Each structure stands twice: as structure tokens, then as C-alpha cells.
Amino acid sequence: MEPTNDQDPNYFHQVVDCQWACPAHTDVPGYIRLIAQGRFDDAYLLNRESNVFPGILGRVCDRPCEPACRRTRVDGNPVAICRLKRVASDLKGDIAAALPSAPDVKNGKRVALVGAGPASLSVANDLVPLGYDVTIFEKYDKAGGLMRVNIPEFRLPSEVLDAETQAIIDMGATIHYNSPVDSMRELLARDFDAVFVGVGAPKGKELELPGRHDDASGHIFIGIEWLKSVAFGHIESIGERVLIIGVGNTAMDCCRTSRRIGGVDVKVMARRPREYFKASPWELDDAEEEDIEITVNHSPKRFVIENGKLLGMEFDVVEWDEGARHSTVRETVIIPCDDVILAIGQENAFDWVERDLGIEFGEWETPVLDEVTLQSTLPHVFFGGDAAFGPKNIIWAVAQAHQAAISIDQFLRGEDVSVRPPVGMTLASQKMGMTEWSYHNEYNPSPRQKMHHVELTKRFAAIDLEVELGFDAEQTAHEVQRCLNCDVQTAFKANLCIECDACIDICPVRCLTITTNGDEADLRTRLNAPSVNPDQAIYVSAPLPQTGRVMVKDENVCVHCGLCAQRCPTAAWDMEKFELDIPYAGQYDILGKSRTDNILSRS
Amino acid sequence: MSSPTKPLIPLAILPKNDLGLTVRDYEGAMSTLCAGCGHDSVTAAITQMFFELSMPPRDIAKLSGIGCSSKTPTYFVRGAHGFNSAHGRMATIATGANAANRELTYIGISGDGDSLSIGIGHLSHLMRRNVNMVYVLENNGVYGLTKGQFSASADIGSRSKRGVPNVVAPIDPIMLGLSMGATFLARSFSGDKEQLIPLLKAAVAHKGMALIDVISPCVTFNDHEGSTKSYRFMREHEVKEIETDFVPWQQEISMPHVKDDAREVIMHDGSAVRFRSVPDGYDPHDRQKVEEYIRERHDRGEIATGLLYVNENSSDVHEMNNTPEIALSKVPFSKLCPGSSALAKLQEDFR
């Protein structure tokens, strides 16, 4: 193999599995170390730089980082990254002074944001400090979008939501509440230089089955509509027996909300077996902990209505073939209930965007966009979040918003939107002494800490009682040390190596091998520890000076303990902290570096 | 300065041997030798060797004397028996231990100072007696523990770290062994585990004293230009004409048979040492030829490595002394020491 180019930021970035998996590329190991040092403000701000809503995401993020976490390969469970994010948020002090604000002199460009959900607010977060005059149009009387109306308060307390949304508005954005945009034509006619659409995917999917529109339809609800009504206090109760159709995360919120406003016998009805559920595993666990029954292999057939009263729902009980592609009906059952909530998905609603404005729409009624720049076919209109490519999640919305903000900024400066600012990195040695490193390199065998919940008997007292209690100090202290510091990289200088084998002998996971070079498939068969994960790169050095062999490292199993660098007599190995320089809007034009650099000195 | 530890990380991908153990189970305490010391590589080779042989740690006894090399038994097979003896006396303790319990596998680790200076007399007699053990001589040409003076194995002309050349003739443990009647003599290099591990396995299988002289560079005092025992010097001057494979007796022999029968040696436990290549006219059974070959290479400034001499048809110390098949330590005390009346009767026989 050719020597690995570790000067390409993407090489070491992929080694930091969590950061690579995060759509917003949050510097996870960096903020976990700050938490370990008790620097909660800094940990929060480092989070905020990339993901904007640490308090919210520390509770309800979809956590793509956790399945990717290297710790899983060591002891089977990822670091509780999301929970630690919440620790930073819960324990931070007043960070208002550390947040950027709008400059006194604006740059004269006006940007309209439609909707005040995570996407629009993230765009505002990036553009307001640059001097843009940002105006947000929000349908409801509060900001937050789906975070407000679709996520129940027992998972996401309103104080957390209020604080993080208000912080952005307070930077100097203008927000008009109760101001739905009913016509794109009218909006475009107003004097805005750019428009960003972050309206989400607000329409719950309908389930057209016999009986859906009969007299009893007052007891049949659409999941996200129903959650919204509960959030605004329009619905305060539900029948004792509730059926939830669908098994995504919205279904989990619906069933758990039902338990809090009158539901006793709450069942979630799934068409397919458990391994095909869309809901996150931890949300399923939390629901089942609240005595919610999840029934598999039941395909809804019709609503059973007699004399204008909903009596139940009829299901086909099905059996699936391998891979759950084709099903066979085994029998039909009627399950009695008082109310039914349909939670089978959501979709975009762009009936307010006139189709003759130059904004093209694709076959699924979603806008035609450039996937990188998020620019629509009308050059000064941009989309982001669920409004762009259909329902995803908050962290994707934030990641897209950062890109859209870069595009809007470049567009309004008259620059080519398709030329993206470069991603950079810094590598800095962490050596402090013979066997000392500036990070906690020792492997800690602590198991993953379990989140404590409010007792079941007390949990349903109020609908806004947050179930998760957050980590206590001891749990935090254990959990932070489970992080393997994947961002502290093993950097190798082949010209210094004397091939004494010290690093190979000391490596506790045998991830190093000195051998003759070969192609990748061949090299992978000759490693000291079997190569079991072809998705993880193998590092190959330049030829070593004495024998011309190469140093090979399987990135899959390295635990970043630094022992190779500690045992190396010639300092051919070094532990160097990798910091990804993610470009944000306006970064390169104003100061030539990240806005947050001057307010946050990282460790 | 705190000493680093090597954490036990429960990685599922590490292979297991016949006993269900991973190589990590054959490790010992963390080495406190200098970073880059050749001895640590020898330790790693021994660890890997015992792992691959699936040897139960309780069946291993590891012994040593004094010196950097003699610290290393602590660093492998933490479950084995061990004895750290006085300077140069490892050979005597090993002889005694082997006499008392012939059922253990003995591995002694020594250095050029421990073996060739203070302990050379004991080493000579260990060879004569052919005590069944593996004797690893970690040879770096200097007294590392006392800051790098030349040892008895330093070559004439080899320079110290301060540039002073050595003028005293070296002792070659292989030549010593040839003259003392040793039955298994090998040389290797700490930086070449591919050669060292099969040699160690063959040494374990050998019935009798098996000496492996391992050139193991002292990274602190003898890894500079002008040294003849540095990593670079070894890599430039090592001659591996004699290549051997070790074939455990359980394993089906799938390699093509070598033509010359003399080049396959069946060890007493049924395993085989196969000479993959030897120089023309070389016979590892012929003491005189071996001596000639080593001298010739030495005069050319080359270091011949591999299994240089082997004699599997000799008696070990127990056969010479006609001791019981089972360990003396297992013979009932009443039989081992039949009492004063038996002694009186014995003495009476000599009157």
C-alpha cells in the first residue's frame, strides 16, 4: 500500500468515530475531557459551536455518535455521549456573555427565515453575528418548531427549550410570532435578499382504512397533530384503552403521553418484527418501562365502529418471511379500544409555495436542491432541516443549517456558492514528560452508567415532569473516563524508527505490526490482531529505515492509550491531539479564523 | 515518574489457544526496562511461544540471576513458578529444581554478564550435566545495569558509547557450548521474532539443556555507531542461512518433505525441527563442521543465526543419574528418606 496520508484532515477525522458519525461533527472527546475537568461552561460552548442546542440534544438527540463509539468494540457499550452533553448543559453557569451578538453596524443584507425550528434558529445563530438583518416568521406563539410541539415536556422541559431558543433570538434576530407564511409569493415580494425555509415536515401521515372518516373519527388522531394539541393544552385527556399505530419515535412519545393523561391500557401496534422498528432502542425501553405493550406482526385493517362509537380496531395477524419482505395473514383479531393514534410518519407540506416562482419540486413534493449548498432552483431561496429532504432529526437539521448559512453568506457576498470553505485540522503533541500525557490515557474499566429515572409511581403526576434525572457527580466521573480519547492520535514518523518492536510488544490490543508491504487485502491477513472491521482504515507508514518494512496500524482496535509513544525510545510515535477545523459562515472573510476561538480556549 | 501499566482490555477478537487462554494471559508484570530494550522483545517472543504451545502456566518454572535480563521473568507468564537467584547462580538453582521436579518446563533467563562473567563456571557444568531446560542468554555486550561497561561477550574493536574500543577477546557462548558438550545451541536476534519463536519452541521440546544466545541490543548503552550489538549492526550483519521450522507432533505435516533426512530432527516429544535451508555441506549434528562454520562467519564479520547445533540422542541429567520417571518431589518421603536404620544398613554394606 502507499503510505497513509495523515495530513489529510479526513484521515484522523474518521478515527474519531463519534465525531465522524455526528452530522454536525461535534468534537465529542474534546467536550468530554472538559467535563472531566469540571469546565462545564467550556464543554457547553464547545458543543454549541457545532450543534447549537446542547441542552436540547443532550436529552433528545438521535445519537448517531453512540453506535459508532469505539468503546463498543472494547466492552460492548458506547460512552453515554448524549447524557454527558446534558451534564455540560445542566451544570454550566451563565454563558450569555460568551455568546456572540449582532454587531452594532449591520451589513445591510436582509434574510427571512420561515419557521423557528432548529434549522432556522441555527441559520440565525450563524448569520446574526455576521451583521445580517435576520427576520424569523413563526406560525405559533413560541419558538422551537417540532422541538416544542412534537417532543413532550417529560422528555424535554420547556425551560431548557426556552433558554436555548431565546439565546439565539437575543443575539439580535427579529422574530414574528403567530405569523405563518401563507404565500411564498408574498414573502418574496417583500424586501429580503435571501430566504431560508426551515418549516420541517409538519404533516402527519394519514391511514385510509374503512371507518376512518365515520362518526367516531373524533377518537382517531394523527400522532404529531395530537402531540401538538397536548403541548398547547387543547387536549387534556384520553380514554383508558389506547392503540398507537406505528412504532417510530413519534409513536413512543404518543404512548407515553397517553399514559400521563388518562391512558391505562396503552398498546403500540407494529406491523413488523422488533428488529425493524424505527424507534430508537432507548425510547422503546423507556416506553416499556411505563407498562406500554408493544405488539408485533399486527397489520391494521379497519376501525370497528358501531352506532357512532369507536369500539376497537381490526388487525391481520401476519407472519413474515426471512428479511420481513412478504407477509402471510394467519388470522384476524379485533382489539378493543377507546382511542386510536396514528403515528406512521410525517411528510412535507409545501402548499403555501406557489409553483410558478421558479422553485422546482421533485416527485415527492420536496424541493429540488443542491445537496451540499441547499440552494433551491431560485438562487436566493434555501432550504434546510426536514423541509429540505424529508423527516430526519434535529442534529441533521443543525448540520444542514450550518451549510445553508455558509451558502447564504457566500451568495450575499456575491461569491460562488458551490466553492465550499476548506476543512482544516491542527495536530498538537500531548507529551508532558517521560510517561505523562496531557490527557487521561489510562484505560478505565468502568461499565456504562445507567440513567436514573423518576420512580414509576411518581412519574405520571404531572405531564411536564422530566423522567430522566441526569447523571449525578459520581456517574459523570465514571462515564467521562470511559471515553477513549480517539481524537488524541498516534502520529508516526517512519524515519525515526529503529524497529526495536517496543511499541508492538506494549500495545494492549496488538493493533501494531511491522511487516513487509503488500496490498491492503494481503496486509489485513498479516496483522497481529485479526482484522475484523474493513470499514476502519489501516495506517501504513513509509518504508522503515533499517529493513524497508512498514509499520501497519489497524485503526479498528486502537484504544489511544499512548503506550506505543511512551515506550518508543526514539519518539517515532507521538500522541497528537487532532482538532478538526470546521468552517462556519463568514469565518474566513472577517477574521480568518473561527468566531469562537477568541471566547473559548480548549484543552 | 510513575511506571506505566498495560491495561487488560477484554477485546473479543484476540485468538484463544487450546486452553481457552489469550496471549494476554501469558503476560506478566509491566516491564521497567528502558523503552526499546531488546529484552522486552524476547519477553514478548517467550509470551507468544508459551501461548502458541498452549502450555498451562502452572507447568512452567522461570528462573533468573541478576542483571537487566534477569528482571524479565517477571514480565511473562504471571501464573508460572519463579525463582530469582543470586548473581550467576541461576544455573545451579535450575539444576536443583530440575533434580527435585523433572515434570516442570524450566526456562532460565540470563545475560552476558550473569552467564559469561560471574556465572560461567555454573553455566559450563549445566551444559555438561545436560539439565533439561531452556536457557535464554540475552546478549547485549555491555553491563547495562551498571551503565554500559563492556561485558565478556563484547567483540574486539566494538566501541563503547564514549568511543573507546574493546581490546579483550570475547567469549562466544555457542563455542563454549560446543566444547562443553551442550546438546542444543542456537543463536537469534531480539528483533526477529519470526526466527526466535520457532527456536524457543524447539528448545522447549528438546530433551536436555537448550541454549539460545539472543543478541538483544541495549538501546541505552550499546545501540550506537561502532557497536557490534546494535539494531542496525545486527540487521546489516545477520546471516540467516540456517532456517528452521518447528512442527508440533500433533500437527499434520503439510510441508513438502526435505530430501536429506539428516535435516529433520525428531524431538523426544514427537515434534520435529525441520531445517528449511542450511548451507552446502553443513550438518547441524557435526560438532566440528558447526565450529568451522561459525568461525568462518565470525572472521567475515558476520553473525550466523539459527539452530546451529543439535544432538537429540544424548542423555539428560536424570538419565545419567538413573532417577525415577516421576518427579522426586512426588516420591513419598518415607521412600525418599527411609530413616536412620536404613542408613545404618547401607553404611554396614560398605564396611
What is this model's ipTM? 0.87
CB A292 within 8 A of CB A267: yes
Q: Which residue of B has its CA nearest to A532?
A: B13
**Cβ-based contacts of B8 with chain A (< 8 Å):** 508
Q: How far is A74 from chain B (nearest CA, A)?
A: 5
For residue B36 the three cell numbers come to 526499546
> Which residues touch A496 (CB under 8 Å, ≥6 apart)?
A570, A571, A572
CATH fold of A206-346, please? FAD/NAD(P)-binding domain (3.50.50)
CA distance A250 to A151: 8
CB A285 within 8 A of CB A256: no
Angle at A148 between CA A146 and CA A150, to 5 degrees: 50
Q: Which amino acid is at A475?
A: Q
Which residues 225-284 of A have a C-beta within 8 angstroms of B? none
> Which residues touch B180 (CB under 8 Å, ≥6 apart)?
B124, B127, B128
Domain boundaries, chain B: 23-321
Res. A601 pLDDT band, cuts 50 70 90 = very low
Structure confidence at residue B260 (pLDDT): 52
Among A557, A563, A570, beta carbon nearest to B11? A557
Q: How far is B67 from chain A (nearest CA, A)?
A: 20
Q: What is the largest CA-CA distance in chain A?
A: 91
CA distance B214 to B93: 22
Res. A323 pLDDT band, cuts 50 70 90 = confident
- pLDDT of A595 over the 50 cut: no
Q: How far is A9 from chain B (nearest CA, A)?
A: 28
SS3 sequence, A434-472? CCEECCCCCCCCCCCCCCCECCHHHHCCCCCCCCECCCC
CA distance B267 to A361: 80
CA distances from A398 to A63, A358, A383, A433, A593 (A): 13, 26, 12, 40, 21
CB A350 within 8 A of CB A365: yes
Q: In this predicted structure, which of A73-77, A393-397, B40-44, B111-115 has the lowest mean pLDDT?
A: A73-77
Q: What is the DSSP letter of B243?
A: E
CA distance B207 to B315: 8
Q: Residue-wise pLDDT tens for chain B (351 aa)?
A: 456 788 888 777 888 999 999 999 999 999 999 999 999 999 999 999 999 999 999 999 999 999 999 999 999 999 999 999 999 999 999 999 999 999 999 999 999 999 999 999 999 999 999 999 999 999 999 999 999 999 999 999 999 999 999 999 999 999 999 999 999 999 999 999 999 999 999 999 999 999 999 999 999 999 999 999 999 999 999 998 888 888 887 655 555 555 554 577 888 788 888 877 788 888 889 999 999 999 999 888 889 999 999 998 889 999 999 999 999 999 999 998 999 999 999 999 998
Say whether B40 and A433 touch across the interface (CB within 8 A): no
Torsion of CA B154, B158, B160, B164, to 10 degrees: 120
Q: What is the DSSP letter of A101?
A: -
For domain A488-581, give the CATH number. Answer: 3.30.70.20
Structure confidence at residue B158 (pLDDT): 94
For residue A5 the three cell numbers come to 496520508
In the CATH hierarchy, which top-level class contains the domain A99-202+348-412? alpha beta
Q: Which amino acid is at B253?
A: I
CA distance B157 to B154: 9
CA distance B194 to B202: 13
Structure confidence at residue A478 (pLDDT): 96
Res. A556 pLDDT band, cuts 50 70 90 = very high
3-state secondary structure of A522: helix
CA distance A74 to B7: 12
CA distance A152 to A228: 9
Instruction: Tell me the mean pLDDT in the region A404-421.
Output: 93
User: Alpha-carbon Rg of chain A, whole angstroms?
Assistant: 27
Instruction: Tell me the mean pLDDT in the region A131-148.
Output: 95
Structure confidence at residue B255 (pLDDT): 52
CA distance A383 to B52: 61
In this structure, the number of other CB atoms found within 10 A of the CB of residue B296 comes to: 12
Structure confidence at residue B280 (pLDDT): 81
3-state secondary structure of A573: strand
**Cβ-based contacts of B44 with chain A (< 8 Å):** 501, 504-505
Structure confidence at residue A596 (pLDDT): 45
For residue A408 the three cell numbers come to 447564504
Angle at A388 between CA A382 and CA A390, to 5 degrees: 170
Res. A591 pLDDT band, cuts 50 70 90 = very low
> Which residues touch A27 (CB under 8 Å, ≥6 apart)?
A19, A46, A49, A50, A487, A579, A580, A602
Angle at A341 between CA A335 and CA A344, to 5 degrees: 105
In this structure, the number of other CB atoms found within 10 A of the CB of residue A231 comes to: 22
Domain B23-321 is found in CATH 3.40.50.970: yes
Structure confidence at residue A218 (pLDDT): 86
Say whether A570 and B191 touch across the interface (CB within 8 A): no
A9-97+444-483 against A206-346: fold identical: no
Say whether B35 and A568 touch across the interface (CB within 8 A): yes
Q: Is B326 exposed, middle or buried (0-12, 13-18, 19+ CB in 10 A)?
A: exposed
Q: Map grid coordinates 553491563 to a residue.
A: B143
Domain boundaries, chain A: 9-97+444-483, 99-202+348-412, 206-346, 488-581
CA distances from B318 to A166, A212, A548, B4, B42 (A): 88, 95, 48, 43, 29
CB B310 within 8 A of CB B273: yes
**Cβ-based contacts of A569 with chain B (< 8 Å):** 34-36, 219
**Cβ-based contacts of A503 with chain B (< 8 Å):** none
Q: Which residue of B has its CA nearest to A564?
A: B35
Say whether B37 and A502 touch across the interface (CB within 8 A): yes
Give chain B's end-to-end CA distance (angstroms, integer).
68
DSSP annotation string for B53-97: TT--GGGEEEEE-SSHHHHGGGGB-TTSEEEE-STT-HHHHHHHH
Looking at every residue in chain A, the average pLDDT score rounds to 93
For domain A9-97+444-483, give the CATH number. Answer: 1.10.1060.10
